[in-house]
Structure 1
């Protein structure tokens, strides 16, 4: 085929195929986004699992019947289906990290409002369904955001580490809620505190530098090498 004979393979610098451990996620260029992600995953998954696991119980504590509380929990879970779909639609037009921040602040406001809406059954159910939209979108947004932060060789490590930190929050939150109830915290106080956790995650993501708005749904952070 008139091609020159291949005598030897070209040398490589080894960067394309190498993999890195946790230390590679904490280098100068990646330290800030990594720590922000870990904090966000911890806070969001803690708040998410509190809301999804304790809502029926706390609705009973607030005066609803068992049937009504189960209905509220079901509506919250059903809202999650729409939350993920809506996040994808919005991320196709706007920067994903901006959409995620909006979800977090909306979730914070709704969770706080929910605690004050239990006296009106219909209102509580409506707010609960919209909370499902928001909190599930927060989780989906973090999962979508994380891979785009790291170069290919560190992507699996970065995603796995962030999820692992989040799982710690998911384990702690339900138990912590039980301890706080035993310490005479009211459902209102717990939901206000949980709303504050969502808000804290949104504020934390403000430390993440963003790039230009994408044309398609994709993570939109500046390349890791440009982070301060």
Structure 2
């Protein structure tokens, strides 16, 4: 009976209710994009107000990423135990509260702590929302549904940059945090009223009234209802530690390690580009406003690049698409800084970098759920994201230290371009190792995914 519901969701056209769930995930990921990258847009006025050097600013840029790592590693796995819905609602509340409190920070240390707190909420949201979007999608459009969450992330960051550019001159950098926090908390009642629990979770973990809840959802999507649940399995009795242990089973170990390597490398490169590009464009001779414009263009490019990955995944093997994205990103980063003598060309290349860079992130997110079964799916993606956050945390810090030791912008971009070559190698090895399971599909068990 489990397979009947899953097969119906996989093979039937997307019902309006399924599209609504994907749209709700899109909404909260827009808020995440704003909340995560807001620090990059306020970096210049924050640095000026508190007289921060490169390393100190790097710590502030990394603080939210530390929180996201904690949330991805230790909060997100509980979605495989208590459910996607309550975990998402709690995490959105934490993120919004942290943003509002950040607007009242009186020192760099306080802002750093509040950015860490905000990041915990964001880390809890990301894995759960990406997985929920995939679980409510048909097989054909699952890759697009998941990659659209990265599009939302980029769109939210674009809005954040636009808002920052308009209100910082008159209201100061604190107003950007206040605005983001209010908007984020405004989504909580929407999620409480409309966001459903995952059918895959209800079937696998079978909490109280699972059968009735599954059938209500089935009716809304126009698929056959169940007369009874399948027999209880050992998986349904496991806690979050059990889900984590399954990531290291013989069938999944190699794929887990390779996807972790890809997450680490891609996020190491991604957060350097997203965090430091506005500042480094100014260092290369552009104006502050042009630097902010560069940051906005990175995210505008991301809107198109992440959607394009999902569309390509409906026709081509995602691992091959992702490898090509990574190689193109490496080339663009290697040549980018040499174009700053011509503002138009430089900003055009920034847009292209945004397309392919964000596509790399979307592709890794979309690739991961297909490796794992429903019982450890959020845990698998959460730990992948958490491992990536280690790279994200280190990235601004490493760049800050290198800048303080007089590294030129061109050298930095070439270094981080090489990182994407290594990431492409990891994906190529994953393709070879896990050839039959790395499409963006949802396996019903680790055995089927291996």
TM-score (norm 2): 0.45
| Contact preservation (8 Å) 1:43, 1:166 | yes
11 and 118 in structure 1: CA distance in 2 versus 1, 3 angstrom threshold: closer
Question: Could you tell me which residue of structure 2 aligns to residue 3 of structure 1?
Answer: none
Question: Could you tell me which residue of structure 1 aligns to residue 281 of structure 2?
Answer: 59
77 and 11 in structure 1: CA distance in 2 versus 1, 3 angstrom threshold: closer
Q: What is the SS of the residue equivalent to 1:28?
A: coil
Matched, 1:126 2:348: yes
Matched, 1:148 2:370: yes
CA distance in 1, matches of 2:243, 2:310: 31
CA distance in 1, matches of 2:310, 2:231: 41
Superposed CA RMSD in Å reads 2.6
Q: Deviations over 1:31-84 (max 9, x none)?
A: 111011111111111111110110011111111122222222221111111011
Matched, 1:97 2:319: yes
Matched, 1:87 2:309: yes
TM-score (norm 1): 0.86
Counterparts of residues 1-228 of structure 1 (less than 5 Å): 14-15=234-235, 18=238, 20-208=242-430, 209=432, 210-211=434-435, 218-219=440-441, 225=447
Question: Could you tell me which residue of structure 2 aligns to residue 5 of structure 1?
Answer: none
Instruction: Could you tell me which runs of 5 or more consecutive residues in structure 1 were left unpaired when the two chains were aligned.
Output: 1-8
Q: What is the SS of the residue equivalent to 1:29?
A: coil
Paired residues in the alignment total 217
How many Å apart are 1:213 and its aligned residue? 10
Structure possessing the higher relative contact order (Cα contacts under 8 Å, 6 or more residues apart): 1
How many Å apart are 1:22 and its aligned residue? 2.6
Structure that is richer in helix per residue: 2
127 and 14 in structure 1: CA distance in 2 versus 1, 3 angstrom threshold: same
Instruction: Could you tell me which runs of 5 or more consecutive residues in structure 2 were left unpaired when the two chains were aligned.
Output: 1-228
How many Å apart are 1:166 and its aligned residue? 1.1
220 and 131 in structure 1: CA distance in 2 versus 1, 3 angstrom threshold: farther
